Amino acid sequence: MLHRDVIDTELLPPGERFGMWLDLVARTAAPLRMRSAHADDFAARAEIIGLGPIQLVRYRYPSLDAVRTAKLARQTEVDYFLLALTTTGTGASGQAGRHSVVGPGEFTFYDGSRPHEVSHLGEDDGRASASSIVALIPYGALPLPPERLAPLLAGRMSGTEGVGALLAQYLVQLTGAPEQYHAADADRLGAVGLDLISTLLGRHLVAEDEVPREVRRRALLSQVRGYIQRHLGDAALSPQRVADAHHVSVRTLHRLFESEATTVAAYVRDLRLDRCRRDLADPASAHRPIQAIAARWGFPDQAHFSRAFRAAYGTTPQAYRAEHGEQARIVNRTASTINSGPTY
């Protein structure tokens, strides 16, 4: 699974918690002057995940105000941008003469090296904790020159529509369940996140031509894959429907998949077969008819499903279920024997 560092101030006595948090922020983001009405008992948590070119931090903390002064900016070097998604509470930021207030599901962007100010008020007028997910992006990782990014500093960007929604879903899913992903995929997952971030920033600059074509291609491919996975159960899912949903031609959609060594139809079919295979091997689905499992994943024609399954896995759905059901029963009996131990 992906490696995750967890820092929880509640493991320390109340009087030491705020100092620990100040040190954590200085090490993972940027040294800041920070104040909070909850400084005497600062119950907070940070989960840090490294993904090759970027780092993600999932924060939960009491309401706070922070500022990176010009003096701190001169004294400490920071070489990355920060893109913050507010998940609960109300955030505010200011940098380079711009200010914005963001609510849940909205992004703000700033340069960690330059003076800036941030605050976050928790829900219920600050009585509840606030939370956010922050992406730390090294200088040079973005395919956009720093001077082009200046208009976005302390700006406000939606995380509920378009590429912003896709990026927000990516951040929430990945930081919320990192155990679902393999450590070997960290670099690739980071590259996907960086592509989405680059595309979001490019769109808000109203300068899509600033984003390299390959980055736009990979970002669109991620959107298409996500759409297909969400609609696998729709038997009417077709290349035309996928293309229409993304405002591109079917020809463009097919070209998108050429470098993936597959076709749109094959990608949909393989995903559906894999979902069916998982359900057939899952003891929790043993009571469900094979036809119902097939229909759930977009195969309304049982004969067609059986032919496709046999071509993919070299056996029939019935035989596959029987084989893996027996394996599950053997494993369960073995586990039961081990757990019961000897009796005297």
pLDDT in tens, the chain (344 residues): 888 999 999 999 999 999 999 998 888 877 889 999 999 999 999 999 999 889 999 999 999 999 999 998 888 887 889 999 999 999 999 998 888 999 999 999 999 989 999 999 998 877 889 999 999 999 888 877 777 888 899 999 999 998 999 999 999 999 999 998 888 889 989 989 999 999 999 888 864 455 667 777 777 887 788 889 888 899 999 999 998 888 888 998 998 898 788 899 999 999 999 999 999 998 888 899 999 999 999 999 999 999 999 999 999 999 999 988 765 555 445 444 444 554 43
The residue to which tokens 């390299």 are assigned: 212
Q: Which residue ranges make up each domain of the chain?
A: 4-230, 271-336
Quick one: pLDDT at residue 338?
42
The single-letter DSSP state of residue 193 is H
Dihedral pair phi/psi, residue 182, rounded to 5°: -85, 145
Distance between CA 173 and CA 177 in Å, rounded?
Answer: 6
What number of other Cβ atoms are within 10 A of residue 60's Cβ? 18
Q: What is the DSSP secondary structure assignment for residue 155, as one 8-state letter?
A: -
Count the helix, strand and coil residues of the chain and give each as a percent rounded to the nearest 5: 50, 20, 30
Of 250, 112, 245, 249, nearest in space to 166 by CA: 245
- The three-state secondary structure class of 318 is helix
Q: Which residues pair with 64 in a beta bridge?
A: 120
Tokens of 74: 């001169």
Q: What are phi and psi of 106, to 5 degrees?
A: -125, 150
Distance, in Å, from the CA atom of 179 to the CA atom of 2, rounded to the nearest integer, reads 6
Nearest 5°: CA angle at 297, between 238 and 299? Answer: 70
Please list the alpha-helical segments (H only) found in 94-212. 146-149, 162-176, 186-204
Q: Which residue is listed with tokens 């490696």?
A: 3
What lies within 8 Å, CB to CB, of 303 at 6+ separation is none
pLDDT at 325: 72
In the chain, beta strands by DSSP E:
4-8, 33-35, 45-51, 54-61, 64-68, 80-88, 90-95, 98-102, 106-111, 116-121, 130-138, 157-158
Determine the Cα–Cα distance for residues 41 and 93; give it in Å rounded to an integer.
Answer: 25
Instruction: Write the CB contacts of 301 (distance below 8 Å, at least 6 apart in sequence).
Output: none
Q: Please tell me the predicted confidence (pLDDT) of residue 334.
A: 47
- Quick one: pLDDT at residue 41? 92
Q: Is 222 within 8 Å of 192 (Cβ atoms)?
A: yes
CA angle 44, 181, 333 (to 5 degrees): 105
Question: ∠ CA(3), CA(6), CA(8), 5° rounding?
Answer: 175
Q: How far is CA 150 from the centre of its chain?
A: 25
* Residue at token pair 């920071």: 78
- Tell me what pLDDT residue 335 has: 43
Write the CATH number of the domain with boundaries 4-230. 2.60.120.10
Query: Global pTM?
Result: 0.64
> What is the β-pairing status of strands 90-95 and 98-102?
antiparallel
